[in-house]
Amino acid sequence: MKRYERFADEISELIRSGVLAPGERVPSVRQASRHYGISPSTVFQAYYLLENQGLIVARPRSGYFVREQAQRLLNEPEMNPCVQETADIAVSELVFSVLGSLQDSDTVPFGSAFPGPELFPLPRLARSMTKGLRALPADAIIADMTAGDPDLRRQIALRYRLTGVHLTPQELVITNGAMEALNLGFQCVTSPGDLVAIESPAFYASLQVLERLKLRAVEIPVHPREGIDLEALAESLARHPIKACWFMSHLQNPLGASLSDAKKQALYALLKQHQVPLIEDDVYAELYFGTTPPTPVKHYDDEGLVIHCGSFSKCLAPGYRVGWVAGGRYAESISRLKLMTTISPSVPAQVAIADYLQHGGYDRHLRRLRYALETQQGHMLDAAARYFPAGTRATRPSGGYFLWFEFPRQVDSLRLFHMAREQGISIAPGPIFSATQGYRHCARLSYGHPWTPRSEEAMALLGRLLASF
Amino acid sequence: MKRYERFADEISELIRSGVLAPGERVPSVRQASRHYGISPSTVFQAYYLLENQGLIVARPRSGYFVREQAQRLLNEPEMNPCVQETADIAVSELVFSVLGSLQDSDTVPFGSAFPGPELFPLPRLARSMTKGLRALPADAIIADMTAGDPDLRRQIALRYRLTGVHLTPQELVITNGAMEALNLGFQCVTSPGDLVAIESPAFYASLQVLERLKLRAVEIPVHPREGIDLEALAESLARHPIKACWFMSHLQNPLGASLSDAKKQALYALLKQHQVPLIEDDVYAELYFGTTPPTPVKHYDDEGLVIHCGSFSKCLAPGYRVGWVAGGRYAESISRLKLMTTISPSVPAQVAIADYLQHGGYDRHLRRLRYALETQQGHMLDAAARYFPAGTRATRPSGGYFLWFEFPRQVDSLRLFHMAREQGISIAPGPIFSATQGYRHCARLSYGHPWTPRSEEAMALLGRLLASF
């Protein structure tokens, strides 16, 4: 990270944490330069970046100020307080129709599940592929199928260390993206008809997995910033025979909520008390905007109860389909289940990523990616504040690439979805994030693609559609 | 194919079909040269190849003769006549212990499920990977996930044409190898508790899939050369509510049996009458030893009842994990099920194979591979005839890389498996090929690896172990 980026980060933390209040003056260029021991031009560069991110504004002849809505350009959505139990989940039709809307490459991809491809080091990965395949002994192409590429498993185990998790490469099973990891984890600890706890709103794919495996769901409310409601969970665990939980501890999809360390610890204690395994979906782990990597619930796991699922699909190599699962006490069963379903993910893709992790400059890429996403978040929030109707609420997550919007009650996001689609804009309407198809006046919008004048126009158009309700 | 190879193929067909009987003289070099309009040196090259394959022998000053046991060095195994129904399949423990024995790269891999890696054009594929990735537009790495690489689907549809099957690329779903294709197909047409028809002996992975999906099996006897017993199948279909069939119409694993065209047609008529879908596992389709590609049952399918599964793992690119399914009327459901479980196979692997199919010389590679396998089959049969005890029976399949041995009754192949493993040799014991763990005196041996003096020693050692029973 460059010096000006580091400095911008510090100021951004001060704003996000409320130390610098909205409307307050940020240190002048001279003060900052003296206080932090950096050159005035570095301070200028940092302030320029923060301005782009929508966090500060320049006032002529007065200096820079924290933007009035810097902390929350729009109000925060409210938490849906109800715990709901659902027997028959049938969300797939709706999800497939939404996914179908993304197929047209001309669409403004606010509904997309992936960041823009231009944000990934694809040419560098291709070089790693060439190099990795050249170095691969012929018999490894067959031998590596069972357990996964040994270099890759070592590299992943190393990255876990950075987040405070100590595990051996043997606990890791390489999978076809996190989706397979999550499927295997769930199959391992449940049988058809079982009850499992999920978040509300929940990532739609988790609903599809439940539907496919014929599981019943208890939906636990998620606070838009602080994450899962632990009291509601404790009550549900006491009342129902819950067999497993599927939670995202960081940058929950769609809300972007992250659990504090204390809350993670309390969550683990609760699950341990009930001996209920946690499937921890942590695919956005690398996309935090702060300066320190978050610690997963897995860190507190002293009984092998947490099945931690990760992936390179959202942070490095979409389309390569390489994910993994650290399965705790279930690792062996998961590995066998994988052999019976897909045998192995593609060996060349594993080899390429293993080489890249060693030589490609992964951390440099991640820093760039995080900056790009943070800047894009600023643009989208800014546009939403300008174009969306009064009463609209929005999250402002500290990472990832999704915003969750709560529109005025009269908005029907399914109708909005169809209207927007007609105009060449995709969105992810609220009902796909719930087994009971709630959240009708909500939607998830992605800022994962570079911001262009077209994005701006699309936001304005969405604003006009919203006003028509 | 070179001229001498083409000529050798013709003679080999004459021998296999019995037109040239064991002990009979093959045309003299002069006759053959005149009759076929080829040079004497071409004839010599062909006869040298046939000698290597164990089909003919040279007698000094008399010319070349069809080897006494050329058609069948050992007697053909007998067909197990019983249809068996099994409620609880639990074969996995055994299968995993056998697969575990293959992990040590020092083992003589007679138990292996893959041919030797040196038989595949891995460096050429790596070049196709580099080229393919360079040409791939950035957004394709995300867009291609849903449906699969369009070039690859076109190329696969083209290859179907060669076998008389006309289908559109839209019917094809690219999968993580055939294993995922078979899993998806089965999940699509069955529910837990359903009864399905499989072969006996059956490929162990099909038993694992049934175990995982909690299906019950009717095992239909397979003739070692002519394939599935249609009468037994007809009876079972009339008597039981069978929901689906999983059959291999060519080079059935483990027997190597292939259905004649007439039998395939009759099989399809039977299934159509009962409206029972066929999951046609056709992963060895490209490994036929003759001159014409076999036609799958799918060719006769006028109602979309056949779910045809193929793969590049056994014939081109092991470890790349690229297979496909032509799902007939189930194509759309299969595609959705895939999106819910693994989303997509690795895009780079698809791109590499698509480029290779267009520019890599696939047919040339396949001809070389088939010759290598045919030659290796000759060596293994020859060694078995020399080292294995009297009364041993063996198949002589017209393709693939597996022999099925039926040993004298007192042999316990599970004990043989453990004894051989101690000596650094892997085999696939009979009981892993049956839900009822029958075939205790049988084993599958692979000749998929280049034949070496070590292979010869291993066969001699197996012979001694067999004699000890």
pLDDT digits (tens, 9 = 90+) for A335-392: 999 988 998 999 999 999 999 999 999 999 999 999 999 999 989 998 998 899 988 9
Q: Using the CB atoms, write b or e for A4-28: b if 16+ within 10 Å.
A: bbebbbebbebbbeeebeeeeebbe
DSSP per-residue codes, B204-246: HHHHHHHHHTT-EEEEEEEETTTEE-HHHHHHHHHHS-EEEEE
Looking at the fold, whether A432 and A357 belong to one and the same domain comes out as no
Which of the pair, A32 or B274, is modelled with greater confidence?
B274
Model pLDDT, residue A141: 79
| For chain B, counts of helices (H) and of strands (E) | 16, 17
Tokens of B109: 């891999």
> Is B120 strand, coil or helix?
coil
Q: Is the pLDDT of residue A93 over 90?
A: no
Reported ipTM:
0.85
The minimum CA-CA distance between A43 and chain B, rounded to whole Å, is: 35
- Comparing alpha-carbon positions, the chain B residue that sits nearest to A144 is B319
What is the mean predicted confidence (pLDDT) over B246-260?
A: 96
- Residues A109-141: tens digit of each pLDDT: 999 999 999 999 999 999 999 999 999 988 887
- Which residues make Cβ contacts (< 8 Å) with residue A174, sequence separation at least 6? A147, A148, A149, A152, A153, A322, A323, A324, A344, A345, A350
CA distance A241 to A375: 44
b/e burial code for range A328-351 (CB count within 10 A of at least 16 → b) = bebbeebbbbbbbbbbbbbbbbbb
pLDDT reading at B74 higher than 90: no
Q: Please, what's the b/e burial string for A62-80 (b: 16 or more CB within 10 A of its CB; e: otherwise)?
A: ebbbbbeebbebbebbebb
Chain A partners within 8 Å of B129 (Cβ): 129-130, 133, 348
**Residue in A131, A142, A183, A204 to test binding to B, most B beta-carbons within 10 Å:** A142
Average pLDDT for B48-62: 81
Q: pLDDT band at A69, cuts 50/70/90?
A: low
Contact list in B for residue A193 (CB cut-off 8 A) is none
Instruction: Give the distance from residue A183's alpha carbon to the nearest chain B alpha carbon, in angstroms.
Output: 6
A122:B145 CB<8 A: no
Q: Please check whether residue B454 lies inside any domain of the structure.
A: yes
Mean pLDDT of chain B: 91
Identify the closest residue of chain A to B175 by CA–CA distance: A342
Are both B187 and B313 inside the same structural domain? yes
In DSSP terms, A217 is beta-bridged to: A86, A196
Nearest residue to B372 via CA among B284, B455, B449, B456: B449
**Average pLDDT over every residue of B357-371:** 94
- H or E stretch covering B420: helix B413-422
B76 in a structural domain: no
- Inter-chain touch A99–B209, beta carbons under 8 Å: no
Q: pLDDT value at position A233?
A: 97
CA distance A378 to A95: 28
Query: Which of B93, B107, B322, B341 has the highest number of chain A CBs within 10 A, making it the mutation to test binding with A?
Result: B341
Residues B245, B358 share a domain: yes
Residues of B whose CB is below 8 A from A109: none
Size of the A and B interface in Cβ pairs below 8 Å: 169
Task: Compute the nearest-CA separation of B67 from chain A (Å).
Answer: 35
pLDDT of residue B369: 96
A133 to B129: CB separation less than 8 angstroms, yes or no: yes
- Above 90 in pLDDT, residue B81? no
pLDDT at A158: 94
What CATH number is given to the structural domain containing B336? 3.40.640.10
End residue of a domain, out of A317, A339, A361: A361
Q: Do B348 and A352 touch (CB under 8 A)?
A: yes
Same domain? B203 vs B255: yes
How far apart CA A273 and CA A275 sit, in angstroms, is 6
Residue A246, min C-alpha distance to chain B (Å): 16
Q: pLDDT (tens digit, 9 = 90+) per residue, B377-427?
A: 989 998 998 899 988 999 989 999 999 999 999 999 999 999 999 999 999
Out of A99, A138, A180, the one facing B341 most closely (by C-beta) is A180
Q: Give the gap in angstroms from C-alpha B347 to the nearest C-alpha of chain A.
A: 5
User: Do residue B346 and residue A344 have CB atoms under 8 angstroms apart?
Assistant: no
Contact list, B345 vs chain A (CB under 8 Å) = 176, 321, 346
Do B332 and B422 have their domain in common? no
pLDDT, tens digit, 9 for 90 and up, residues B150-161:
999 999 999 999
Q: What is the mean pLDDT of residues A178-191?
A: 95
Q: Is the pLDDT of residue B87 over 70?
A: no
- Count of C-beta atoms within a 10 Å radius of residue A185: 32
- Both structure tokens of A92: 């797939």
CA–CA distance, A159 with A323 (Å, rounded to integer): 14
Cα separation, B243 vs B305, in Å, equals 12
In a domain, B84, yes or no: no
Same-domain status, B293 and B416 = no
pLDDT tens-digit map of B305-323: 999 999 999 999 999 999 9
Q: What is the per-residue pLDDT for A73?
A: 61
Residue of A nearest to B113 (CA): A142
Last residue of one domain, picked from the residues A361, A383, A399? A361
| Residue of B93, B103, B107, B142 to mutate, testing the A interface (most A Cβ within 10 Å of its Cβ) | B142
Q: What does the pLDDT read at residue B391?
A: 86
Rounded to the nearest 10 degrees, the angle between the axes of helix B362-387 and helix B3-16 is 50
Query: Which residues of A fall within a CB distance of 8 Å from B319?
Result: 140-142, 144-145, 344, 346-348
How far is CA A457 from each of CA A69, A321, A453, rounded to the nearest angstrom? Answer: 22, 33, 6
Nearest to A196 by CA among A219, A174, A171: A219
The predicted-structure confidence for B145-194, as pLDDT tens digits, reads as follows 777 899 999 999 999 998 889 999 999 999 999 999 999 999 999 998 99
Closest CA to B243 of B209, B275, B290, B286: B275
- What is the span of the domain harbouring residue B460? 90-119+364-467
- Determine whether the interchain pair B143/A208 forms a contact, defined as Cβ–Cβ distance below 8 Å: no
Is the predicted pLDDT of residue A258 greater than 60, yes or no? yes
User: Among the three residues B327, B362, B397, which one is the final residue of a domain in this structure?
Assistant: B362
Cα dihedral A191/A192/A195/A200 (nearest 10) = 110
Question: Can you tell me the distance from the alpha carbon of B337 to that of A95, in angstroms, rounded to the nearest whole number?
Answer: 13
Q: Count of domains in chain B?
A: 3
Cβ <8 Å between B146 and A103: yes
Residues B430, B455, single domain; the answer is yes
Residues B196 and B113 in one domain: no
CB contacts of B343 in chain A (<8 Å) are 176-177, 179, 321
pLDDT of residue A248: 97
In degrees, rounded to 5, the angle at the alpha carbon of residue A401 between the alpha carbons of residues A395 and A407 is 35
Asked whether residue A419 carries a pLDDT value surpassing 60, the answer given is yes
Calpha distance B156→B172 (Å, rounded): 8
Question: Is the model's pLDDT at A70 over the cut of 70?
Answer: no
Q: Once rounded to an integer, what is the mean pLDDT over residues A406-414?
A: 95
User: The domain that contains A368 carries what CATH number?
Assistant: 3.90.1150.10
Q: Cβ(A357)–Cβ(A152) under 8 Å?
A: yes
Q: Is the pLDDT of residue B280 over 70?
A: yes
Contact call for B105 and A177, based on CB within 8 A: no
Nearest-CA distance from A342 to chain B in Å? Answer: 5
CB spacing of B319 vs A133 below 8 angstroms:
no
Of A118, A211, A343, the CB nearest to B138: A118
What is the C-alpha to C-alpha distance for residues A461 and B235, in angstroms, rounded to an integer?
Answer: 65
* B70, pLDDT greater than 60: no
Note whether A349 contacts B344, CB cutoff 8 Å.
no
- The reported pLDDT for the residue numbered A87 is 62
A330 occurs within a structural domain: yes
**pLDDT band at residue B21, thresholds of 50, 70 and 90?**
confident
CA atoms within 13 A on the CB side of B11: 35
Same domain flag for B156 and B202:
yes
B244 assigned to some structural domain:
yes
Q: Do A340 and B205 touch (CB under 8 A)?
A: yes
Tell if the CB–CB gap between B336 and A96 is shorter than 8 Å.
Answer: yes
Distance in Å, alpha carbon of B270 to nearest chain A alpha carbon:
29
Q: What is the mean pLDDT of residues A191-213?
A: 92
Domain of A48, CATH number, reads 1.10.10.10
Least Cα separation, residue A125 to chain B (angstroms): 10
From B215, B223, B252, select the one nearest B85 (Cα to Cα): B215
Task: Give pLDDT, residue A345.
Answer: 93
In this structure, are A132 and A105 located in the same domain? no
* Same domain membership, residue A276 and residue A168: yes
- Contact yes or no for A130 and B134 at CB 8 A: no
Which residues share a beta bridge with A221?
A: A200
**Residues A212 and A320 reside in one and the same domain:** yes
Residue A80 lies in a domain: no
The answer to whether position B205 is within a domain reads yes
pLDDT at A102: 74
The single-letter code of the amino acid at B257 is A
The answer, yes or no, to whether residue B37 has pLDDT greater than 80, is yes
Distances (CA, A) of A284 to A260, A294, A311, A381, B334: 16, 10, 8, 20, 28
Reading phi first (left if > 0) and then psi (alpha if -120 to 50, else beta), residue A295 is in beta
What does the H/E/C string look like for A375-429? HHHHHHHHHHHHHCCCCCEECCCCECCEEEEECCCCCCHHHHHHHHHHCCEECEE
Only one residue has tokens 């090929």, namely B433
Task: Calculate how close chain B gets to A91, using CA atoms only, in Å.
Answer: 12
d(CA A173, nearest CA chain B) in Å? 15
Do the chains contact at A320 and B346, CB–CB below 8 Å?
yes
For B132-145, b where at least 16 C-beta lie within 10 A, e where not — what string? Answer: bbeebebebbbbbb
pLDDT band at B105 (very low <50, low <70, confident <90, very high): confident
- Closest partner residue to A343 among B103, B140, B179, by Cβ? B179
Residue A435's pLDDT band, with cuts at 50, 70 and 90, is: confident
Contact B144 A319 (CB under 8 A): yes
Nearest Cα residue in chain B from A96: B336
Structure tokens, B145: 């996930």
Q: Is residue B258 one of the residues assigned to a domain?
A: yes
Tokens (6 digits) for B354: 């698509």
